C-alpha cells in the first residue's frame, strides 16, 4: 500500500514530464514512510492561506511551491515566523510576487503553509545515486550553512547499523549531537530511524536519483527529530520498484 502511494506520486511527475518533485510531493512521500514532518497545507490564494493558517496555528513558515524553483530561498520564496493573519496575507502575496520575478516561466502551484518549528541541532540527511557506487547516503551538519561548512560524511548503501553510528561520530559537529559542556545529547535513536527509512526508500525506488532533507531538527534525547524541508529529484529512465 505504501509503495503504491509513493509510486503514484512518482508517476504523476512522469506524466507531467517533471523530474523535480515539489516540496508538498516530497513531504507526502516522507509521510508515507513514517518520517516526522511539520503540519503543512497547500494554499492557492491569499484567502485560502489565511484559512489554513487558522487551522494550523501560529507561528508559521510560508514557502513557494513550484517544480521550477528548487532553491526557494534564492527566489525569496520563504518567509518565517509569521505571527498573525495580516502577516500571512502579506507574506503570501510577496512570495508569489518574488517567485514570478525570479522565474517568470515557473509554474506556481501555490504556497506551503507550514507549522513553524525551531530546534537547537540541525542536520542534513541526503542521498545521491552515483553512476559507479549506486545510492550513496550523506549525513552532516545542516541548515543554511551546509554548503559553506561541508561538515558531512558519506556511506554507500546498504547500511549496517554500525555504519549509522559511525556517521554520528565522523562529522566535526559530533560533540553537539552527543552532548557537550553540559548540553544534553540529541535524540540519536530518532535520527537513526530517519536515516534507515531514507536508506530503504532509496533502495526500493531506483528512480529517485537525489534526495535531501535539510534541515532535520533533532531535539534532546527522547524528544524526537523532525524534517522541516525535503527535496526529491527523479530519473524516470530508472523506473521500477526494487525488492525491499
Domains defined along the chain, listed by start: 2-115 (3.30.1490.20), 121-238 (3.30.470.20)
Q: What is the pLDDT of residues 82-111, one digit of tens each?
A: 999 999 999 999 999 999 999 999 999 999
Q: How far apart are CA 244 and CA 241, in angstroms?
A: 9
Q: What is the pTM of this model?
A: 0.90
Q: Model confidence at 165, in pLDDT bands (50, 70, 90)?
A: very high
Paired strand residues for 112? 42, 63
Question: How many angstroms separate the Cα of 54 from the Cα of each of 57, 83, 92, 215?
Answer: 5, 11, 14, 25
Q: Hey, is 227 helix, strand or coil?
A: strand
Q: Model confidence at 224, in pLDDT bands (50, 70, 90)?
A: very high
pLDDT at 241: 54
Rounded average pLDDT over 162-191: 89
Q: How far apart are CA 91 and CA 220, in angstroms?
A: 32
Amino acid at each position: 500500500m505504501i509503495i503504491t502511494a509513493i509510486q503514484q506520486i512518482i508517476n504523476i511527475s512522469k506524466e507531467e514530464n517533471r523530474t523535480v518533485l515539489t516540496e508538498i510531493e516530497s513531504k507526502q512521500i516522507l509521510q508515507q514512510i513514517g518520517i516526522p514532518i511539520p503540519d503543512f497545507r497547500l494554499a492557492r490564494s491569499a484567502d485560502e492561506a489565511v484559512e489554513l493558517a487558522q487551522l494550523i496555528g501560529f507561528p508559521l513558515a510560508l514557502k513557494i511551491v513550484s517544480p521550477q524553483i528548487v532553491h526557494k530561498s534564492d527566489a525569496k520564496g520563504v518567509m518565517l515566523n509569521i505571527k498573525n493573519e495580516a502577516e500571512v496575507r502579506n507574506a503570501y502575496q510577496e512570495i508569489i510576487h518574488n517567485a514570478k520575478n525570479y522565474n517568470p516561466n515557473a509554474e506556481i502551484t501555490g504556497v506551503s503553509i507550514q507549522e513553524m518549528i525551531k530546534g537547537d541541532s540541525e542536520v542534513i540527511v541526503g542521498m545521491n545515486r552515483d553512476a559507479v557506487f549506486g545510492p550513496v547516503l550523506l549525513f552532516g551538519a545542516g541548515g543554511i550553512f551546509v554548503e559553506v561548512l561541508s561538515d558531512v560524511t558519506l556511506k554507500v548503501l546498504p547500511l549496517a547499523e554500525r555504519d549509522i553510528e559511525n556517521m554520528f561520530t565522523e562529522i566535526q559537529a559530533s560533540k553537539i549531537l552527543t552532548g557537550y559542556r553540559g548540553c544534553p545529547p540529541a535524540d540519536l535513536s530518532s535520527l537513526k530511524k530517519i536515516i534507515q527509512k531514507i536508506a530503504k526508500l532509496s533502495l526500493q525506488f531506483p528512480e529517485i536519483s537525489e534526495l535531501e532533507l535539510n534541515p532535520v531538527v533533532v531535539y534532546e534525547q527522547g524528544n524526537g527529530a523532525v524534517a522541516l524541508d525535503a527535496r526529491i529529484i527523479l530519473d524516470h529512465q530508472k523506473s521500477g520498484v526494487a525488492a525491499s
